[in-house]
Amino acid sequence: MSASPLTDFSKLCIHTITTKPWTIEEAAKSFSREGIGGITVWRDALQGRNIAQTGQMLREHNLQIISLCRGGFFPHTEISGRQKAIDDNKKAVDEAEALGAPLIVLVCGAVPSQALEVSRKQIKDGILAVLPYAEAAGIKLAIEPLHPMYADSRSAINTLAQANDMAEEINSPWLGVAVDVYHLWWDSQLEQEIYRCGKNENLFAFHICDWKTPTLDMLNDRGLMGEGCINIRQIRSWVEKAGFIGFNEVEIFSNIYWSQDQGEFLKKIKESYLKYS
């Protein structure tokens, strides 16, 4: 059972990192001109800028600010490192508030020299330490489970089941989950875990791109929708059946696309969004 094809770009959100060669000002201008509805801002795109004014600039371009990427990276072997991570996540909350982003996506972190269950405990402790601060600012947090190939150094949370478990244990309306098809497409439990996530009102964000065969780089060789093996429309149908009515966020890290003309790339994103998402 598939979702209806998408027919316009009102629910299309693009991450600033997707068009990394562009400044956020260039991205805003181009996204706006192409009728794209939303933008997710990566923190590096805000470097050296007045964040509140940047948020204003995005809104003046009729772009809805969907989220700030990213917080997280809570695990460290030293307590000082864990405290530094908590401080940085509070800083991210300040930035999201200034920008006018209602949500921060968490790449939770992992340390190769440390057992995954230890990292998971530190992630939970870190989220609990940041959550009251986020709530006071009116900012939500979303745990993004990452593909198991990132379990060594990027996230000890590698399935939607684990993210759901943690969100349900912490049980706050300010904490939920971000579902990214790239990280989760392979999981035979995905459909049921998406429904579980929606039922508990934890489904906060939906990220799309594709998995290419072969994948030439473990980090920066994501494909445009339709270039790979992920049945994105099927997963979108599950997400929508679970009650999600938010944006479809295109998050593509790609050395190949970053080396090309970003205006042409944006046209390809729009085409593949309608055709394959």
Q: Which tokens hold the place of 275?
A: 């055709």
CB count within 10 Å of CB 10 equals: 12
Taking CB under 8 A as the rule, does residue 231 contact a copy of itself? yes
**Min dist. Cβ of residue 211 to a copy of itself (A):** 6
Work out which of 16, 30, 122, 158 binds a copy of itself, going by CB under 8 A.
Answer: 158
**Min dist. Cβ of residue 18 to a copy of itself (A):** 22
Nearer to a copy of itself, 22 or 238 (CB): 238
Q: 3-class DSSP state for residue 103?
A: strand
Is residue 250 within 8 Å of 274, Cβ to Cβ?
A: no
- CA distance linking residue 67 with residue 142, whole number of Å: 10
Please give the backbone phi and psi of residue 148, each rounded to the nearest 5 degrees, phi first: -55, -20
CA distances from 234 to 48, 68, 94, 167, 275 (A): 40, 26, 36, 24, 13
List the helix and strand counts (H, then E) for the chain. Answer: 10, 8
Taking CB under 8 A as the rule, does residue 152 contact a copy of itself? yes
CA distances from 41 to 19, 58, 251 (A): 11, 10, 11
Taking CB under 8 A as the rule, does residue 229 contact a copy of itself? yes
- Cross-strand pairs, 162: none
Q: Of residues 107-136, which lie at the interface with a copy of itself (CB under 8 A)?
A: 112-113, 115-117
Length of the chain: 277
Nearer to a copy of itself, 31 or 73 (CB): 73
x-or-dash string of contact with a copy of itself, 22-51, rule CB under 8 A: ------------------------------
- How many residues touch a copy of itself under the rule CB under 8 A: the total is 26
Taking CB under 8 A as the rule, does residue 57 contact a copy of itself? no
Taking CB under 8 A as the rule, does residue 75 contact a copy of itself? no
The residue range among 11-19, 93-101, 224-232, 236-244 that interacts with a copy of itself, by the rule CB under 8 A, is: 224-232
The residue range among 60-68, 82-90, 125-133, 149-157 that interacts with a copy of itself, by the rule CB under 8 A, is: 149-157
Is residue 142 within 8 Å of 106, Cβ to Cβ?
A: yes
Taking CB under 8 A as the rule, does residue 2 contact a copy of itself? no
The backbone region for 73, taken as left when phi is positive above 0, alpha when psi lies in -120 to 50, beta otherwise, is left
Per CB under 8 A, residues contacting a copy of itself are 112-113, 115-117, 147-149, 151-153, 158-159, 162, 185-188, 211, 213-215, 218, 228-229, 231
